[in-house]
Chains A and B, each alone.
Chain A
């Protein structure tokens, strides 16, 4: 598999074939299958954020052994590589060890970690790539529940917005002519009549944003521009906070 350049977000010297790369023989870090699977998932999701660092002096990988393994797992043919100057073997070894060891010394702000994690979980982000084992994740979130009484916590995005109100009026048409006349008058296009042309008929329903109805009922009042509303309705993902009108045909069920 060859990735498009859009998937590579980091600076690199060139895209090198995987077969060209040589792992450092003295690399002390061993990577488990789980770790490589997580990293592969991360690369698939957010792309390449770091290149594999190769020494121009020895041609060995200095940083990015796990990334190489993840690329092999993903069956990639080329990977982004940054070729860097190292003055001596000693410099290479220092970088090789420190690159993995120094990040281990970081101390995590667990409150912040929980907050970020809660947001990701609320969006159903896959947690596989984050490097958390299920038990670890459960422990992290359970602590939050105990500490802050999560079961009573408010999620702002879930709360009712000011004036938000979903309600509807149902219109019923007993005759095809009236129904099609209403469709035309209300500007409903793209009607799939295949549903009602079946032998066994059922009622046909459509939903219209309430603001569009109001603009047609009251064209001379207010500053609502029906054409603008129609445009808005077509381009918006969802109508917000207005009555909908539902018009079924003569229901046979």
Chain B
């Protein structure tokens, strides 16, 4: 998928590697508008968005994370996660964003109240991306889904592995730390106490606080 003006560039660079192109208008600005356009113009029930700097999936269920780079297996994992999300009534599905194996909770492989990124999917056409956002619209969309559908479906066993800061194009054309921060602050204003912008040095992070379980219920032990 590329814009109508960028298509010749992609064709020249990729040659016969890509058999079919889908064009989006070059005049669309911002990921939110592009994603809304795709939802409106494609009949498919599910839209899955992948960053272009991903290498594969890390599996966090072992002592050391294992890396899956086989496209066939990754495609099956995505398909399966989509099926589970649809069964559960969620309209957003994806994988964890925390790479730390130590943070993985084996008794809670699926999480319903966190945001997701890098490679994630949207089911149906009812929810809309916030067209005022130029970045981080994924966080906004996840929180919106938590409000409307009550849950998102995140398979926390996996997380994407990407080439950090090794890629240009896409968002990097107009993404700056200042704009990123502005988008984060906008999210804070919009979602109030349910979303927090955190700072780690010069980098900003976002955490959401949307409870989806009654407190005080003890964990079970089955032998």
Contacts and interface: CB of A to CB of B under 8 A. Distances in A.
Interface of A: 121-128, 134, 141-142, 145, 150-155, 157-158, 160-161, 163-168, 170, 192, 195, 198-200, 202-208, 236-240, 244, 246, 253
A244 B193 contact: no
Given A134-B132, A170-B109, A164 B212 contact: yes
Contacts of A123: 128
Nearest to B140: A124
B211 interface: yes
Contacts, number: 119
Band of interface residues on B: 35 or more
Interface in B102-150: 109-110, 112, 127-132, 140, 144, 146-150
A158 B194 contact: yes
Interface in B191-216: 191-194, 210-214
Contacts of A161: 150
A127 B132 contact: yes
Contact of A236 (B70, B76, B89): B89
B63 to A, nearest CB: 15
Interface string B48-63: 0000000000010000
A164 B214 contact: yes
Contacts of B144: 122, 124
Nearest to B197: A151
25 contacts: A122-B144, A122-B147, A124-B127, A124-B131, A145-B189, A151-B188, A155-B192, A155-B194, A157-B147, A158-B191, A158-B210, A160-B211, A160-B214, A166-B112, A166-B150, A167-B213, A192-B79, A195-B79, A200-B73, A202-B77, A203-B80, A238-B88, A238-B151, A246-B84, A253-B77
Contact of B217 (A165, A238, A246): A165
Q: Summarize A's interface: helix, strand, loop or mixed.
A: loop
Contact of A165 (B128, B147, B214): B214
Contacts of B68: 253
Given A170-B109, A206-B87, A122 B190 contact: yes
B177 interface: no
Contacts of B127: 124
B16 interface: no
Contacts of B109: 170
